[in-house]
Structure 1
Amino acid sequence: MPTYANDSTMKRYYQTLDDSGLFQRMQHDDPQAFEEIYTRYFLKLSNTAFKRLQDREMTEEIVQELFVNLWLKRHRLPELKNPESYLQTLLRNAVIDWFRAQARQDGFAAEMLAQPDRQIINATEQHILYTDLQQAYESTVGQLPEKCRQVYALHQKGQSVAEIADQLQIAPKTVESHLLKAQQTLRYLLKEYSAVAVALLVSF
Structure 2
Amino acid sequence: MNDLQLLALVRKDNGLAFQEIYNRYWRVLYNSAYQKLQSAPLAEEMVQETFLNLYVKRDTVQVSDSLSPYLHSVLKNKVIDEIRKQISSKKYQDTLSVQPPVTAISSHDLLEEKEVKEKIIEFSETLPKRCREVFLMKQQDLSNKMIAEMLQISEKTVEGHISYARKLLRSYMTELYLYSLIFLISYIPY
Q: Conserved in 2, the CA contact under 8 Å of 1:49 and 1:91?
A: yes
Distance 1:63-1:34 versus aligned 2 partners, 3 A rule: same
TM-score by length of 2: 0.54
Match of 2:28 in 1: 44
Q: Conserved in 2, the CA contact under 8 Å of 1:99 and 1:200?
A: no
With a CA cutoff of 8 Å and minimum separation of 6, indicate the structure with the bigger relative contact order.
1
One-letter identity of the residue aligned with 1:80: V
- Deviation of 1:106 after TM superposition, in Å, equals 2.5
Deviations 1:25-59 (A, max 9, x none): 11121111100000010000000111111111100
Q: Which runs of 5+ in 1 are unaligned?
A: 1-16, 138-189
Match of 2:63 in 1: 80
One-letter identity of the residue aligned with 2:115: I
Counterpart CA distance in 2 for 1:197 and 1:67 is 30
- Deviation of 1:198 after TM superposition, in Å, equals 5.3
Deviations 1:141-177 (A, max 9, x none): xxxxxxxxxxxxxxxxxxxxxxxxxxxxxxxxxxxxx
Q: Percent identity?
A: 28
Match of 2:146 in 1: 199
One-letter identity of the residue aligned with 1:202: E
Q: Secondary structure at the match of 2:76?
A: helix
Match of 2:44 in 1: 60
Q: Which runs of 5+ in 2 are unaligned?
A: 96-101, 103-109, 153-190
Distance 1:198-1:104 versus aligned 2 partners, 3 A rule: farther
1:1-204 → structure 2 map (5 Å cutoff): 17-77=1-61, 79-81=62-64, 82-107=66-91, 115-122=110-117, 194-195=141-142, 199-203=146-150
Q: Secondary structure at the match of 1:86?
A: helix
Match of 1:147 in 2: none
- Deviation of 1:83 after TM superposition, in Å, equals 1.4
Deviations 1:102-130 (A, max 9, x none): 2221245xx7xx934312324567879xx
Counterpart CA distance in 1 for 2:7 and 2:143 is 33
Distance 1:102-1:123 versus aligned 2 partners, 3 A rule: farther
Q: Which ranges of 4 or more aligned residues in structure 1 deviate by more than 2 Å? A: 114-117, 120-128, 193-204
Counterpart CA distance in 2 for 1:48 and 1:93 is 12
Kindly report the root-mean-square deviation, in angstroms, between the aligned alpha carbons of the 2 structures. Answer: 3.4
- Deviation of 1:69 after TM superposition, in Å, equals 2.4
Pairs aligned (count): 125
Q: Secondary structure at the match of 1:106?
A: helix
